[in-house]
C-alpha cells in the first residue's frame, strides 16, 4: 500500500473491524482490521466491488454505524466511547452527506430542503441561516430555482439541492455515496465537476464512493476496498479538476 498524503489528518481509523449477527451461526466479519487516515482538504474516491465493505466503512466514518473494534478519531476526538446523543451531535457538526438518491422532501421548496439541517439541529431557522441556505444554493447554480419543489427540477438539479443541503452547515467532511449513480452521463459529469469546484473553493474534504472508474480517476486519491481490506491506496499524480 502506498500513499503520499501531505495533509493534516482530519480522520484517523485504526484496526477497524466490523461484524454482523455477532454470536449467531451466520456471524460475519466484513471489515478486517482496516486502518487509514484522511487529511484536511483531500478529495478521495472509495472504490471496490459490491460486498467489499466500502459502504459499511462509509457508514462507520459517517457515525451511522458503530465498529466492532478499533478506534476512530475525528479532528483528534476519539469517537469509540461516545453515546448515541454525542455521536449525533458530532455527526451534525462535522459531516455532510450526499446520497445516490437525493431524499428531498417533495412538499418543500429547494430553499426549505436546504434549511432542514439547521431546523433539525436547532429546532428553528434563523434569518442568518436562511441567508446561508440562499448563498449555498446560489453557489451550486440554483439561485433562480430556490422556490421550486423537487418535482419541478431535473435529476441533476435535485442532486444540486442535496449537495447544498450537505454543505449548508459548513461541515469539514462531506461523504458522498454514489452521488452520480442515478444520473445520466451529462448530469453525472455536471454534478462531479460541481463537487470538484466546491472542494477547491471551500477547502472541504470529500470521500466519494463510486463504481465509475472514470470519475475515480478524477479524484486526488483512490482507496480500493476488497474483501474488507484496503487493497490499494494511492495518490493520483495526473489529476483533472474539472
Within a domain: residue 165? yes
Contacts (Cβ under 8 Å, ≥6 apart) of 36: 12, 13, 223, 230, 233
Helix segments in 16-150, DSSP class H: 54-61, 84-94, 110-122, 127-139
Q: Please count the other Cβ atoms lying within 10 Å of the Cβ belonging to residue 190.
A: 17
Within a domain: residue 4? no
63-81: pLDDT as tens digits: 999 999 999 999 989 998 8
146-188: pLDDT as tens digits: 999 999 998 888 888 998 999 888 899 999 988 877 777 887 8
205-214: pLDDT as tens digits: 999 998 888 8
Within a domain: residue 66? yes
Range among 22-26, 140-144, 145-149 with highest mean pLDDT value: 145-149
What is d(CA 205, CA 175) in angstroms, rounded to the nearest whole number?
Answer: 9
Check residues 186 and 86 and name the one with the higher pLDDT.
Answer: 86
Within a domain: residue 241? no
pLDDT of amino acid 50: 86
Region 83-87: mean pLDDT is 92
Angle at 187 between CA 181 and CA 191, to 5 degrees: 75
Between 3-7, 52-56, 90-94, 118-122, the lowest mean confidence (pLDDT) is in 3-7
- Total domains in the chain come to 1
pTM for this structure? 0.85
CATH number reported for the structural domain that contains residue 142 in this entry: 3.40.50.300
Range of the domain at 156: 9-235
Amino acid at each position: 500500500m502506498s500513499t503520499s498524503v501531505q495533509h493534516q489528518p482530519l480522520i484517523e481509523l485504526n484496526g477497524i473491524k466490523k461484524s454482523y449477527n455477532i454470536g449467531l451461526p451466520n456471524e460475519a466479519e466484513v471489515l478486517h482490521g482496516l486502518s487509514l487516515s484522511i487529511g484536511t482538504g483531500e478529495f478521495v474516491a472509495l472504490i471496490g466491488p459490491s460486498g467489499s465493505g466500502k459502504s459499511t466503512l462509509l457508514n462507520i466514518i459517517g457515525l451511522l454505524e458503530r465498529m466492532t473494534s478499533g478506534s476512530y478519531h475525528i479532528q483528534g476526538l476519539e469517537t469509540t466511547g461516545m453515546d448515541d446523543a454525542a455521536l449525533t451531535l458530532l455527526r451534525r457538526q462535522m459531516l455532510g452527506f450526499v446520497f445516490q438518491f437525493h431524499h428531498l422532501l417533495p412538499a418543500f421548496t429547494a430553499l426549505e430542503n436546504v434549511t432542514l439541517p439547521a431546523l433539525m439541529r436547532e429546532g428553528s431557522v434563523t434569518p442568518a441561516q436562511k441567508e446561508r441556505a440562499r448563498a449555498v444554493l446560489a453557489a451550486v447554480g440554483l439561485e433562480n430555482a430556490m422556490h421550486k419543489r423537487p418535482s419541478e427540477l431535473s435529476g441533476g438539479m435535485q442532486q444540486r439541492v442535496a449537495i447544498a443541503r450537505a454543505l449548508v452547515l459548513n461541515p469539514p467532511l462531506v461523504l458522498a455515496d454514489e452521488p452520480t449513480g442515478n444520473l445520466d452521463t451529462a448530469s453525472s459529469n455536471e454534478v462531479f465537476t460541481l463537487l470538484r469546484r466546491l472542494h477547491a473553493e471551500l477547502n472541504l474534504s470529500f470521500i466519494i464512493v463510486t463504481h465509475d472508474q472514470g470519475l475515480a480517476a478524477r479524484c486526488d486519491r483512490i482507496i480500493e476496498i476488497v474483501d474488507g481490506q484496503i487493497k490499494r491506496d494511492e495518490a493520483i499524480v495526473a489529476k483533472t479538476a474539472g
